[in-house]
Amino acid sequence: MTEDNVELEARLQEQEEFEPPESFVEQANVSDPEIYDEFDENWPECWEGAADLLEWYESYDQVLDDSDEPFYKWFTDGKLNASYNCVDRHIDEGRGDETAIEWVGEPTDEDNRTYTYAELQKEVNEFAAALRAQGVGEDDVVTIYMPMIPESPIAMLACARIGAPHSVVFAGFSADALATRMNAADSEYLVTCDGYYRRGDPLDHLDKANQGLSGVDHDTTTVVVERLRDGDGFDHDLDDDQHSYADLVSDHEGEEVEPVQRDAEDMLFLMYTSGTTGQPKGVKHTTGGYLAWAAWTSQAVLDIKPEDTYFCSADIGWITGHSYIVYGPLTLGTTSLMYEGTPDYPDRDRLWEIVEEYECDQLYTAPTAIRAFMKWGSQYPEKHDLSSLRLLGTVGEPINPRAWKWYYKHIGGEECPVVDTWWQTETGGMMVTTLPGVKKMKPGSAGPALPGVDVRIVDAEGEEVDAGNAGYLTVQKPWPGMLRTLYNNDDRFISEYWQAYSDPDSDNWVYFPEDGAKIDEDGYITVLGRVDDVINVSGHRLGTMEIESAIVGVEGVAEAAVVGGSHDVKGEAVYAYVITEDGYEENDELRSRIVEGVEDAIGPIARPEQVVFTPELPKTRSGKIMRRLLENIANGDELGDTSTLRNPEIVGDIEAKVSDD
């Protein structure tokens, strides 16, 4: 490192606040600081502006209907179609030849695929016609189990076109996870693919999908997209109820399907996410409020303009991919870039190569990726011209100031604002982040709540905490992008999100996302992490209960407790403490069966970092496992008070085992 560089690094490390670059502010979609006051004064009508970003068949009567709290309704009686908004409207506006999706496959010797809005329209129509011909009707849930290939957004938009809600299951999830979600949603249709590429090798995805289907308790119809190139395919015969995507689409060549007029409150999609219990929660999002939220935040925070090439490196199987690869960017008529592979294949500069080649304007990624980039070193981005970038974003977990500054300097060249966006599957889109054309940035803090979003940090009694103190993050007013309920489970919707801080007697409804946070004197919020039994591994939400039940299902395991321990790249990693059954040895063979058990039940993302055998788990006198202690052990932290334990002597033994491994 040169002396200049050393000085620069030192200055950066000390700097706690960054003003948005002037060149950015001058062209920003939102740059008027008055927006915060205006939205407060004009709430909830302030959200008309978000609805105005959409094309409606019929305008709505009321912005917010709060007559049945917390079952809020937004833009009531408005009629629209999400597929029309993401595709056709741009053609009607004369932009049919502009690129909608730029797709980069993992193999470097494969041509990319470009879909103009007109081409996307053709493909979405044909597949919508095919789905209909297979019997998919309005409100039938279609499960999509696919990786980062263009047919994923095409299938989502085809569903939206015919009013069939989709439920996308992350391709990295296991067969069991697919079956659980299809059963929970009573979904009779599956769209999947033959395989995809990982680190250069073809991967057999259909085999996993078929295993999943064997666990589905009702009849199903499957469509199989041919992703793998000739010669890379696996040997599978399709059953009678399984159809080739290519065949179906060619059967419906050139067909047009009139977009179904959906009510604003009709379901657009379901997305399953982990919670405190073993059963994943089916988060229900609607057509009007969700789409308005995805579009408005894409415009105000990601600063997306139609002429941009925007790159979000999330997977479509997560909410970030839904809102910020598909629905938000396409509603705004921009070019959304999708990349199939991993950032380090064939080399650690793959993303930078893509950014350079496609002259990307924005990059939206996760702190776990940024920490990996930082570890690999700045020589990789330095090989490429990244000057097309105008804005950087992060999402999914807290970002530490060091990683933030590395991103700001080495990727953004100190010329791009960084938006650290806090939100969740349930919120539909961003909630807490700086507006990049308005607010200064503070590394490590996501920023203030967005205009019109009422976030308060409270203590256990629900009283707002003073600046500097930690508390619980709450949202005290509804917003259009919010989940409407948990699928088929209104009671759990209330108990999970509203019970903790609401006072129904005085009509005071408070949403609790189960995150801890603190706030500073400028109203900037630092999110500290989950306060429920959910761990955040590389930005992926995993329920400890789900992992524990997978482990207990392994032969030879009597009991298990799973906690998150900090990890320098993944943010958190899975630590499993396991008691063996009598007669089973604590050995590597059992350890690998446990790891396999978790991979089979959930997927490789949930793979335990460490499996620690112990004769007992630390328990309170009432028999509750003291997870806090297990977390402290995983992190090598001070243990604190162990006097309430029934078996305090076990703690030292477990600690010794973790540090040995």
What residues make contact with ligand WTA under the rule CB under 6 A? 273, 318-320, 395-398, 420-425, 446, 513, 515, 527, 529-530, 536, 541
| Cβ proximity of 154 and 191 under 8 Å | no
**Closest distance to ligand WTA from the beta carbon of 246 (Å):** 33
Give the C-alpha distances (Å, rounded to integers) separating 520 from 430, 469, 525: 20, 8, 7
Q: Which helix (H) or strand (E) holds 318?
A: none
Shortest separation between residue 421's beta carbon and ligand WTA, angstroms: 5
Residue type, 35: I
Helix residue ranges, H only, 273-366 = 288-300, 319-321, 328-331, 350-358
Q: Which is nearer to ligand WTA, 215 or 529 (CB)?
A: 529
Task: For 329, list phi and psi in degrees, rounded to 5.
Answer: -60, -40
AA identity, residue 652 = G
Nearest distance in Å: CB 475, ligand WTA: 12
Token pair for 187: 């979904």
Task: Quickly count: other Cβ atoms within 10 Å of residue 58's Cβ.
Answer: 12
Taking the complex as a whole, how short is the minimal distance between the CB of residue 151 and ligand WTA, in angstroms?
23
Q: Which is nearer to ligand WTA, 221 or 323 (CB)?
A: 323
Name 335's bridge partners: 309
Nearest distance in Å: CB 512, ligand WTA: 11
Query: Residue 530 Cβ, how far from ligand WTA at the closest point, in Å?
Result: 5
For residue 442, the 8-state DSSP code is -
Q: Rounded to the nearest whole angstrom, what is the least distance from the CB of residue 501 to ligand WTA in the complex?
A: 16
CB of 643 to ligand WTA, least distance (A): 31
Is residue 338 a contact partner of residue 302, using CB atoms and an 8 Å limit? no
CA distances from 239 to 34, 155, 221, 229 (A): 60, 21, 10, 21
Q: Is 46 helix (H, G, I), strand (E, B) or coil?
A: helix
The rounded distance, in Å, linking the Cα atoms of 99 and 115 is 6
CA–centroid distance for 598 within its chain: 21
**Residue (319 or 337) nearer to ligand WTA, CB:** 319
Least distance to ligand WTA from the beta carbon of 423, Å?
5
CA proximity to 30, closest of 16, 46, 43: 46
Q: How far is the CB of 474 from ligand WTA (least distance, A)?
A: 12
Indicate left, alpha or beta for 444 from its phi (over 0: left) and psi (-120 to 50: alpha). Answer: left
Smallest gap from residue 492 Cβ to ligand WTA (A): 16
| Residues whose CB is less than 8 angstroms from the CB of residue 401 and which lie 6 or more positions away in sequence, other chains included | 443, 444
Dihedral of CA 558/559/564/565: which sign?
A: negative
Query: Which one, 127 or 173, has the nearer CB to ligand WTA?
Result: 173
Q: Which is nearer to ligand WTA, 352 or 423 (CB)?
A: 423
DSSP structural state of residue 267: E
b/e 214-251 (16+ beta carbons within 10 angstroms → b): eebeeebbbbbbebbeeeeeeeeeeeeebbebeebbee
User: For ligand WTA, which is the closer residue by CB, 179 or 319?
Assistant: 319
In the complex, least distance from residue 319 CB atom to ligand WTA, rounded to whole angstroms:
5
Whichever of 380 and 423 has its CB closer to ligand WTA, that residue is 423
Q: Among candidates 264, 502, 539, 330, which has minimal Cα distance to 423?
A: 539
Q: Which is nearer to ligand WTA, 222 or 273 (CB)?
A: 273
Token pair of 333 as six digits: 């008529």
Between 213 and 517, name the residue whose CB sits nearer to ligand WTA: 517
Q: Pick the closer one to ligand WTA by CB: 275 or 597.
A: 275
CA 176, distance to chain mean position in Å, is 20
* Residue with smaller CB distance to ligand WTA, 475 or 554: 475
In 15-97, which ranges are continuous DSSP H helix?
Answer: 22-27, 35-41, 48-51, 82-83, 89-92
Q: Which of residues 350 and 530 has its CB atom nearest to ligand WTA in the complex?
A: 530
